[in-house]
Amino acid sequence: MTANVASADRPAAILPRALNTLEVPRLLTPAQVAERLAVSRSAIYAWVRAGHLPAIYVGRLPRFAEADVLQFIDSRRRTPQVSP
């Protein structure tokens, strides 16, 4: 039995349809997230350790899905309290 893997002599068209349509999230580095949020990289690492910002580890390197960063921003949104 041969593996169904794309290579120079086996085009990606023969891969299972699920693999061809797999959407990989856009991943950001800690520096990119820190820059976008105007905070330090250490703040990013602190939020990861506290469980507030989910990280995807590629080996030992943390990466952040753009959708997770946007959700994190939304979770921090506060509406002003209006006093009567």
pTM above 0.85, yes or no: no
> For residue 17, what pLDDT is reported?
61
Q: Which run of H or of E encompasses 27?
A: strand 27-28
- pLDDT tens digits, 27-74: 999 999 999 999 999 999 999 999 999 999 999 999 999 999 999 999
Q: Which CATH number fits domain 23-75: 1.10.1660.10, 2.30.22.10, 3.40.1410.10, 1.20.120.1760?
A: 1.10.1660.10
Please, which residues bridge with residue 27 across strands? 65
Q: How many Cα atoms sit within 13 Å of 38 on the Cβ side? A: 0
With a cut of 70, say whether residue 5 has pLDDT above it: no
Question: Domains of the chain: which residue ranges?
Answer: 23-75
- pLDDT tens digits, 8-34: 555 555 556 655 566 778 899 999 999
